[in-house]
Amino acid sequence: MRMVKLVELLNQYKDEYYNLNKPSVSDAEFDRLYDELVKLEKESGVILSDSPTQTVGYNVVSKLEKVHHKIPLLSLDKTKESGVVKAFLKNEKYMLMAKADGLTVKLVYEDGKLVEGSTRGDGNIGDEITHNVPTFKGVPLEIPHKEKLVVVGEAIIHRYDFDKINSKLPDDEKYKTPRNLASGSIRQLDSKVCADRCICFYAFGIIEGMENIDSKYDRFEKLGDLGFCMIPHAIIMKNTDIDRMVLHVDGMVECCEEIGLPIDGLVYTFDSIKYSESLGATSHHPLHSLAYKLEDEIAKTTLRDIEWSVGRTSQITPVAIFDTVVLDGTDVNRASLHNLSIMEELELGLGDSIEVFKANMIIPQIYRNTTKSNNLEIPTKCPVCDGKTKIDQLNNSKVLKCTNIDCSAQVIGRLSHFVSRDAMNIEGLSESTLEKFVEKGLIESYVDIYKLEQHKDTIINMAGFGKKSYDKLIASIEKSKSTDMYRVIYAMGIHNVGRSASKAIAKHFDNNMDEFIDCVQTFDFSQLEDFGDITNESIHRWATDLSLQKFVGIVNHLSIEKNVSESPTTNVFFGKTFVATGSLNNYTRDSIREKLESLGVKVSGSVSKKTDYLLAGEKAGSKLKKAQDLGVTVLSEEEFEEMLK
């Protein structure tokens, strides 16, 4: 909606001019956009609450009056089981919506004007907050729809606004959750206080009005046209299998994460109003909708042991072993504690009563320790090699490390990372295969991988191997010798240097490995974009004489392109920020990223105001909608390739 974009731009320019004293546009350009907005408001009859054409005064009330809801605002039935959702949906056309974690608000319009705002309360009686609603974003104060219209939605505070508010407060005054802050802000007697809290309203339904439209999705489209900010949603034509449902859920959650919308679940609701009404309701919830909850399920259990797991970086991670509990339908009896700091903060001891959960419904973690015996001993010897351990600091956390660089657990971990797909991409060297090769003395370091032909007979005669497997492995090793500089750097497993950082290093040194080797010990990597002192220190720590000597030994076996095939500055996209989404005909997810990066493009995973282009394939989904809302240039695959010619 052009009007939404204009309001956002003009408010940004006003802030730059009046608050920052750094205007980014001329007065003439501001006036041109302002006049365009005034014209659109007159033509459409829509005036948004945060429009710069409006001077909204701040009101103060002595108390919040009570509002009786003629039509009760019921809760929703909830589940965490995808099977329950599938059974609920049957084979009807339905919508999937985000379930925002804020405060439910009802807005009443008469003769095209906002006349009342109220909270849900207990479903029957809520608080009147009409004085605060004009400070909300996403709410039109006037609409061209003259019949009575009652809209319900969720008033929230975006995560980035919440973090910004908290960043200005001392630790003992910080707010705990966006929901708590939103709830308290909306009920403020002084609307100026509410305005400072950045409340945004996301409409999710109509309880009165538009009776001539039977489709909930079509009603959503109509509300969007009237200027409402709509809850992220998608129309699904019919019920699908569980795997497809999971994809829909993942897409909706990703959309909400991208825009900073706090959610505590998703909502499945039938699209047809008539069908929905025919199902009726209980005293608690309607039967046409079902909430799919995402919050973590917490279970109580008893801590029985601590195992110590050695990783490729020499860090020894404590793992809690406890009596088996069922979380999200699966048996769980262990959880990583990540580092010594977390273990000590929990004050763990064997026999303690603990509460565990699955973070993001996937990773088991300890939520709380209710007895706090704090009697665990930190091992002085590595559980794998018996080498000495030491306590070190890593990113402001205490960690336990094995001091023996030849520890077999570290060796296997480093080798597994080295041969992984994003590194040297050597197929046929699984972790179990590497363990066998290390055990037999065939591999001790990275460079030994490129000497495996010397052990042909031994490998062919190993259990699970044969000549065919051997030939396939050697072919994969040979193929890996012709590679990119960033892959070799990433393969080293340097602390805090991932795939993107490795590419940035290779780019800075123009893919010249010799130049990188010559100055890696003294170069200040913190001068590179998104690099800091910690990353710089990690690289220098890695680049000891011994590590560098081994690195050079590996490089001598490789063929690395020193020059890029095309200077990226010769194309129209150089220096721009791109997001790619959907299914492309000529590119995979990895290949389009590599193509864009070769053009000197910054590739991002989410759409924002800083995005220059969205490359959209089939089934582009929420990223496409957000790009359109923000006015980001959207390119098809054909348009992208045409612009490169």
Residues 455-493 pLDDT 10s: 999 999 988 888 999 999 999 999 999 999 999 999 998
Split at pLDDT 50, 70, 90, the class of 243 is low
Bridge partners of 265, per DSSP, are 99, 293
Nearest-5° angle of CA 509, CA 510, CA 516?
A: 30
Split at pLDDT 50, 70, 90, the class of 6 is confident
Q: Beta-carbon neighbour count of residue 556 at 10 Å?
A: 9
Residues 138-178 pLDDT 10s: 899 999 999 999 999 999 999 889 888 888 887 767 776 78
- Of 219, 224, 205, residue with least CA distance to 267: 205
Identify the CATH number of the domain defined by range 66-293: 3.30.470.30
What average pLDDT does the chain have?
A: 85
**pTM for the full model?**
0.47
How far apart, in whole angstroms, are the C-alpha atoms of residue 139 and residue 563?
54
Residues 63-98 pLDDT 10s: 888 999 999 888 888 787 777 888 888 888 899 999
Residue 565 has pLDDT above 50, yes or no: no
Fold for 2-44, please state it.
Answer: Helix Hairpins (1.10.287)
Structure tokens that stand for 184 in this block:
């308290």
485-560 is classed in which CATH architecture? Orthogonal Bundle (1.10)
How far apart, in whole angstroms, are the C-alpha atoms of residue 306 and residue 350?
8
By the 8 A CB rule, do 429 and 419 touch? yes
How far apart, in whole angstroms, are the C-alpha atoms of residue 563 and residue 560?
9
3-state SS record for 161-228: HHHHHHHCCCHHHCCCCHHHHHHHHHCCCEHHHHHCCCEEEEEEEEEECCCCCCEHHHHHHHHHHCCC
**pLDDT recorded at residue 143:** 92
By the 8 A CB rule, do 165 and 181 touch? yes
What residues does each domain of the chain span? 2-44, 66-293, 299-402, 408-480, 485-560, 568-644
Q: Beta-carbon neighbour count of residue 102 at 10 Å?
A: 25
Single-letter amino acid, residue 397: S
How far apart, in whole angstroms, are the C-alpha atoms of residue 390 and residue 405?
13
Structure tokens that stand for 1 in this block:
């909606």
**pLDDT recorded at residue 593:** 80
Distance of CA 585 to the CA centre of its chain: 26
Bridge partners of 270, per DSSP, are 94
Residues 590-645 pLDDT 10s: 778 878 877 888 888 778 888 899 998 876 666 887 888 788 898 888 888 888 87
Sign of the C-alpha dihedral computed for residues 607, 361, 159 and 125 taken in this order? positive
Structure tokens that stand for 9 in this block:
């731009």
Three-state SS at 258 = helix
408-480 is classed in which CATH architecture? Orthogonal Bundle (1.10)
Same topology, domains 66-293 and 568-644? Answer is no
Split at pLDDT 50, 70, 90, the class of 564 is very low
Identify the CATH number of the domain defined by range 568-644: 3.40.50.10190
**pLDDT recorded at residue 244:** 66
By the 8 A CB rule, do 346 and 371 touch? no
Domain 299-402 has CATH 2.40.50.140: yes
How far apart, in whole angstroms, are the C-alpha atoms of residue 621 and residue 152?
25
**pLDDT recorded at residue 329:** 60
Name the helix (H) or strand (E) containing 13: helix 2-14
How far apart, in whole angstroms, are the C-alpha atoms of residue 353 and residue 333?
14
Residue 129 has pLDDT above 90, yes or no: yes
Single-letter amino acid, residue 335: A
Tell me what percent of the residues of the chain surpass a pLDDT of 70: 91
Residue 297 has pLDDT above 80, yes or no: no
Average pLDDT rounded to a whole number, residues 400-413: 88
Residues 364-389 pLDDT 10s: 889 899 999 999 999 999 998 999 99
3-state SS record for 366-433: EEEECCCCCCCCCCCECCCCCCEEEEEEECCEEEEEECCCCCHHHHHHHHHHHHCCCCCCCCCCCHHH
**pLDDT recorded at residue 619:** 63
Which residues are annotated as catalytic? 99
Nearest-5° angle of CA 590, CA 159, CA 175?
A: 145
Written as one string, the DSSP assignment of 466-524 is -HHHHHHHHHHHHHHTEE-HHHHHHHTT-TT--HHHHHHHHHHTTT-HHHHHHHTTT--
Residue 229 gets which letter from DSSP?
P
Query: Taking the CA of residue 585 as centre, how many other CA atoms within 13 Å lie in the half-sphere pointing to its CB?
Result: 6
Bridge partners of 613, per DSSP, are 578, 633
